[in-house]
Structure 1
Amino acid sequence: MPVDPQAYRPETAILALGDTFYVPVDAARFPRTILRFRNDRAASEVGLDALTDEEWLAYFGRFDPLPGTLTRPLALRYHGHQFRVYNPDIGDGRGFTFAQLRGGGDDLFDLGTKGSGQTPFSRFGDGRLTLKGGVREILASEMLEALGVRTSRSLSLIETGEALDRGDEPSPTRSAVLVRMSLGHIRIGTFQRLAYEGDAAGMRRLVDYCLAELFRVPAGADPVAQFLDLVVAHTARLAASYMIAGFVHGVLNSDNINVTGESFDYGPWRFAPTWDASFTAAYFDHAGLYAFGRQPEAIHWDVGQLAASLRLLSEAPPLIACLERFGAHYRAALGNRALRRLGLHKSSPEAAALLVQAIGQTLTATGVSIDRFFFDAYGGALPPGYGAAWDDARALFAAFEPIRQGRGHPYFADPEPCAMLIDEVEAIWRAIDTADDWAPFHAKIAAIRRMGEALDGWQKSAN
């Protein structure tokens, strides 16, 4: 591949953690490699957008080593609470990290996989990913990115020509391997494993790695509390982002929470059609542990497990003080995310909090879809007819100004907002499954990106 040293900047920073953090593995050999999706927008950030399709298949379907970075894929070790039950027998069971690349802003990106074959942590799994699962992850990550949620990006999807048996969808079904581009794959469960094993030296190295490489800040006088404080702030913002996006992750286990607060690992996700706190995404979440309205609680609980793990290095009081700031961070982020989805400038925290309260009351009272409400209200121009809860709060908009010219983008002349409810997801998959018709999928990606453009670029500046 042609290497532009200004755009392509390979790294191997993760190797400094030592081999107790990972196991070198080999990728599965697939019968076929059919390119189904390449995200050149994301690839351009790390100098990979000039790859030919054949090079793309070699690096992301056969996993030839990218120049200058990791020479072998690494399956990462971690533990985690799964539906509040601790499990020490997990790790990267169908994925690995196979490259690290520095972005233009010096962010360190990991390239990781889903469906790349068995590892020592696969247990009874086949290490594969269904094509439907890959399609769903692309749709989720694209939609969240457009809505301003800090998320991993789906970089590549390659169909692999194997027939898979699954208990939760018609089988046999088609297989694929996905590559995601993420700001690290260090999970709360990574720290839990170190606490479980009593590895204080390893945990200290990991804290230093996260501060230097993921948060890119110099270590302070108390690096452990400093690290936890950053995680609390970033994960509180993630929780607020999910709520304003109307997104339900579905499986907020501690091994699915990235310490950077970047959303990733999309399985049974859904977007909530209405503001229903009890709405769940996973059919197996019988108790509603990860229901829409309980996501802030779930993420806070997971961060509490990180704090408990960090007791290996720290006394409790500074860690408790960090945890107690989660609520304030969440409330501030909720107001900011609501304003940004409405296309409004920041105002006082008090005014933003009142606006969030009015939004919740309006959505609950009217039963209108979350996407419809924010589409109608973008720029502060909500039409009448949303009920007394909103009429009473309409004057709140006087405290805010539109970020730009409000509804000037052609998107806002559309009859319906761009949304991603389950019926459309299933229709997109059905076209692929029954007729190998990818047109609805690619049309949806284009529509999502058009919506992101209409929201006028505030998403990335907000992150």
Structure 2
Amino acid sequence: MKLSEVTLSHHYADLGDAFGTRIAPTPLENPHLVHVNPAVLQLLGVDESEADNPEWTQLGCGKKLFPGSRPFAMKYTGHQFGVYNPDLGDGRALLLGEIDNNGEPWELHLKGAGKTPYSRFGDGRAVLRSTIREYLAGEALTGLGIASTRALCLVGSGEPVVREKIESGAMLIRVARSHIRFGHFEHFFYTHQLQALQQLIEFTCARFLPEAQSLPASEQAEALLRYTVRQTAKLVAGWQSVGFAHGVLNTDNMSIIGDTFDYGPYGFLDDYEPGFICNHSDYTGRYAFDKQPGVALWNLNALAHALSAFVSTEKLRDCLEAFQPRLTEDYAALMRAKLGLQQEEESDQQLCADLLQLLENSAADYTLFFRALSHYRGERPAEALRELTPVGQHEALDQWLDHYDHRLERENSDCQQRNSAMLTANPKFVLRNYLAQKVIDTAESGDYRPLRTLLDLLQSPFDEHPHCETWAAAPPESGKHMPISCSS
């Protein structure tokens, strides 16, 4: 499909005025195209050759709309740091509509599009720094096999926008299977709009749970909650396995279908630090890396409460009780793959826990250690692993490797095949914050080549890319614990 053939529909706006507000975007001044994502073009069924089409600048800055587009600011609420906030909604973004690619709808969302009725005291803008971080993050998680929103194109401008300092304004077109958040359901529940809440449940089930469409409202709501519990458990297990911290797991940042949503002050682990806090505004550590599973369950409880008008307390509790076993099962499977284990043994959980304790005691780089372990063949001394741990932890490392060797003996797997499989489970490249900042710094000076390089690496993070070793290196000390704020 050519870009000129793209036409949008807008089933969400069809739900009615209770769901949001139609409003035109405010175009950026002096826009220029930063990048178009060929992988997302392919996802949408648009010819990759269209990446060079100059029309993207106008579409991406809000000056021109796709045929059929009806820009729509969605209304929702949510719990922010555990406190309910009724005044939320799309304050700087507009849902343009959706593209249907062979029966699979993809929604387009213009971020940085200007003020809406839900902007509160905001300016409705995004800056180049934050759009680059989101642009890269969607590809980073997708490349790792973790469900995520993505971005189609990125447009910069000469328009000044005030954050902690004056920065240049930018927009991106976000692509997602759905932009419905936990907070959408909370809004209708807390404002006693139960008919609209039922509409939203039916709409979501029709899109993602067609088998539940013919059920009564109460059973649809229950089926939706069970689905979201499963998808959220799978999502969080993925985050924990790769060392990804979201940073702001408010209920308005949680996708009803379990996709990673709303990238702000996120971070991948460098040194293994379970209590890693990537958001410098998170003074209590509510959203620390090791707190994410518990926070996800807290958020699911908030969603369940929003569905309590349709589902009994007993059934809500039963739905929520499925979260922990599913999370444990999914996480264990991912960690066995990282360790090269095909069979499941009861002792595997302890083997994994002991390794994580070793990594914490050693302040070892999480990504580099597992990548090095992917090449381990039982050698002593295990030099590649020793290089990633301090001398004082070498004895503990050898003790763990002894247990690991015995476990591999029981597995009785071919070493070469195991190493190859582990290299597809342990990435060489992750989106470290210092790399993102490196790309942002060069982009702000007008050089987008590092952005393109890093994007390519993140889209195939398990490949060797032998000429890009510096992008896989551990960060300098100055690159660790970089202060990342919600404006990111």
| TM class, shorter-length | 0.7 to 0.9
Asked if the contact 1:188/1:254 (under 8 Å) is kept, the reply is yes
TM-score, normalization: structure 2? 0.83
Match of 1:360 in 2: 356
Match of 1:374 in 2: 370
Match of 1:37 in 2: 35
Q: Which runs of 5+ in 2 are unaligned?
A: 387-396, 466-488
Question: Cα offset for 1:153?
Answer: 0.9
Asked if the contact 2:94/2:113 (under 8 Å) is kept, the reply is yes
Q: Per-residue CA shift, 1:397-450, capped at 9, x if unaligned?
A: 4538689955569x99xxx932332222222222223x3222222221122223
Asked if the contact 2:428/2:462 (under 8 Å) is kept, the reply is no
**Aligned mates of 2:459, 2:77 — CA distance in 1:** 36
Aligned positions of 1:145-184 closer than 5 A? 145-167=142-164, 171-184=165-178
- The structure having more radius of gyration, on CA atoms, is 2
Aligned positions of 1:3-152 closer than 5 A? 10-48=8-46, 49-51=48-50, 52-62=52-62, 64-67=64-67, 69=68, 71-104=69-102, 106-152=103-149
Q: Give, as a single letter, the amino acid of the residue that structure 1 aligns with 2:204.
A: C
3-state secondary structure, aligned to 1:234: helix
Percent identity between the aligned chains? 27
Match of 1:307 in 2: 304
Q: Give, as a single letter, the amino acid of the residue that structure 2 aligns with 1:173.
A: E
Match of 1:195 in 2: 189
Q: Give, as a single letter, the amino acid of the residue that structure 1 aligns with 2:364.
A: V
Question: Cα offset for 1:340?
Answer: 4.4
3-state secondary structure, aligned to 1:91: coil
**Aligned mates of 2:184, 2:250 — CA distance in 1:** 12
Asked if the contact 1:4/1:47 (under 8 Å) is kept, the reply is no
**Aligned mates of 1:127, 1:185 — CA distance in 2:** 18
Deviates more, 1:396-405 or 1:233-242: 396-405
Question: Cα offset for 1:361?
Answer: 2.9
Aligned positions of 1:381-400 closer than 5 A? 381=377, 384=382, 385=386, 386-397=397-408, 398-399=410-411
**Aligned mates of 1:95, 1:403 — CA distance in 2:** 50
**Aligned mates of 1:63, 1:217 — CA distance in 2:** 41
Question: Cα offset for 1:305?
Answer: 0.2
Deviates more, 1:392-401 or 1:200-209: 392-401
3-state secondary structure, aligned to 1:177: strand
Deviates more, 1:395-404 or 1:134-143: 395-404
3-state secondary structure, aligned to 1:428: helix
Question: Cα offset for 1:214?
Answer: 3.2
Question: Cα offset for 1:225?
Answer: 1.1
Q: Per-residue CA shift, 1:350-375, capped at 9, x if unaligned?
A: 46544543442332233211111221
Asked if the contact 1:365/1:387 (under 8 Å) is kept, the reply is no
**Aligned mates of 1:356, 1:373 — CA distance in 2:** 13
Shift in CA distance, 144/351, structure 1 to aligned 2, threshold 3 Å:
farther
Asked if the contact 2:19/2:74 (under 8 Å) is kept, the reply is yes
Asked if the contact 1:78/1:90 (under 8 Å) is kept, the reply is yes
**Aligned mates of 1:40, 1:400 — CA distance in 2:** 42
Q: Give, as a single letter, the amino acid of the residue that structure 1 aligns with 2:330.
A: A
Shift in CA distance, 283/65, structure 1 to aligned 2, threshold 3 Å:
same
Deviates more, 1:90-99 or 1:380-389: 380-389
Q: Per-residue CA shift, 1:58-99, capped at 9, x if unaligned?
A: 3222353323x4x32110000011101110011000001102
Match of 1:460 in 2: none
Q: Per-residue CA shift, 1:5-64, capped at 9, x if unaligned?
A: 9xx684432234222111101111221221111111111121234435222223222353
Question: Cα offset for 1:252?
Answer: 0.4
Task: Indicate which of 191, 199, 208 corresponds to 1:214.
Answer: 208
Asked if the contact 1:366/1:387 (under 8 Å) is kept, the reply is no
Question: Cα offset for 1:218?
Answer: 3.3
Asked if the contact 1:345/1:402 (under 8 Å) is kept, the reply is no
Asked if the contact 1:117/1:128 (under 8 Å) is kept, the reply is yes
**Aligned mates of 1:381, 1:38 — CA distance in 2:** 42
Shift in CA distance, 387/145, structure 1 to aligned 2, threshold 3 Å:
farther
3-state secondary structure, aligned to 1:363: helix
Q: Give, as a single letter, the amino acid of the residue that structure 2 aligns with 1:295.
A: Q
Task: Indicate which of 425, 435, 441 corresponds to 1:424.
Answer: 435
TM-score, normalization: structure 1? 0.87
Asked if the contact 2:10/2:96 (under 8 Å) is kept, the reply is no
Deviates more, 1:267-276 or 1:360-369: 360-369
